Amino acid sequence: MTLTVSGLRVVRAGRTILHSTSLSMSPGDRMGLVGSSGSGKSTVGHALIDDLRGQGHSVSHVPQSPDEALDPLRSMAFHWREAERALGGVDVDRAALFSALGIDGGDMGKRPWGWSRGMQQRFVIAMALIGTPDLIVLDEPTSALDPVVAAASMDLLERHLQGRDTAMMLITHDLGLAARRVSQLMVMAEGRVVERGATEDILARPQSVAARALTAHKSWAMVPC
C-alpha cells in the first residue's frame, strides 16, 4: 500500500518550522531525510507519523533519544508488553532479536536507567521491529551507539526488513549513513524539502545549496555504518 501525505505543515510559537511538504512512499522503499541540524528533519518525522497513523497506517518510531520512547518509571518488560500490544506482533523472536542486538544480558525487570544509553537505544530499535508495520521511522537511530554496534544494528534492521513490505524512513544528518542505507534522499533546509531524488544522483550531482554543503564534507564517505 502506498503511503501518501500532502501539505504537512507545522507552526510552533508563531513560527512555521515546516513549510507545506508532501511525500509518497511505496512498500519496501528506503528513504533518507538529510539536512543540517535544525533544518526540520525530526519535525517532518513527527508530522509524518501523526498523519499516517491518523489515516490508519501502522508506523513504528525509533526517536532520536530513548528518553522519548521509554518511561523512566516503567520496567523494560512493561515497555515490551505495551509495544507488543500496540503493534500486534506475533512474528518476533525476542531472544534472537536481543541476541543479535547484543542486549540479551539486559534485566527486563529493571527500569530504563538500569540499562546503558546504548542498550536502551537498541531496546527501542528492537521494539520497533515487532510485527510488520507499514513504515518504520528511524530518527538518528545510531547516534547513541559506537560505530561497530551502530553498523551491526543497521545491518540487523536491514536483514529484518528484507522481503517485508515495511517502508523505512531514515532521518539523519550523517550523509555516510544515508549513502549506505537508502536508495532515495530528501534534503531539507530551513523547514523545506529543497531537493529529492535517487541517493546516488544527489551524492554525485547535488543541486541545492544545502545538498552541496552536505556533500562538500568528504569525511561523510568514511563513516563505517
Ligand X SMILES: Nc1ncnc2c1ncn2[C@@H]1O[C@H](COP(=O)(O)OP(=O)(O)OP(=O)(O)O)[C@@H](O)[C@H]1O
Of 61, 122, 173, 181, the one binding ligand X by CB under 6 A = 173
CA 75/CA 164 separation, integer angstroms:
30
89 vs 191, beta carbon nearer ligand X: 191
Q: How far is the CB of 10 from ligand X (least distance, A)?
A: 8
DSSP class per residue in 131-188: S--SEEEEESTTTTS-HHHHHHHHHHHHHHHTTS--EEEEEES-HHHHHHH-SEEEEE
Q: How many residues bind ligand X (CB under 6 A)?
A: 12
CB neighbour class for 72 (10 Å; exposed up to 12, middle 13-18, buried from 19):
exposed
Place of cell 527501542: 124
In the region spanning residues 126 to 165, those forming contacts with ligand X, defined by CB under 6 A, are: none
Of 13, 90, 204, 216, the one binding ligand X by CB under 6 A = 13
By CB under 6 A, is residue 37 in contact with ligand X? Answer: yes
Our CA dihedral for 50, 139, 161, 180, rounded to 10 degrees, sits at 140
Binding pattern for the stretch 39-58 against ligand X, x by CB under 6 A and - elsewhere:
xxxxx---------------
| Nearest to 101, CA basis, from 134, 140, 141 | 141
Of 23, 25, 29, 35, the one binding ligand X by CB under 6 A = 35
41 vs 192, beta carbon nearer ligand X: 41
List phi, psi (to 5°) of 83: -65, -40
Stretch that binds ligand X, among 36-44, 106-114, 125-133, 202-210 (CB under 6 A): 36-44
Place of cell 550523509: 175
Stretch that binds ligand X, among 38-46, 120-128, 162-170, 174-182 (CB under 6 A): 38-46
Of 5, 17, 49, 202, the one binding ligand X by CB under 6 A = 17
Q: In the structure grid, which three cell numbers stand for residue 194, read together? A: 529543497
By CB under 6 A, is residue 63 in contact with ligand X? Answer: no
Question: Which residues are at the interface with ligand X (CB under 6 A)?
Answer: 12-13, 17, 35, 37-43, 173
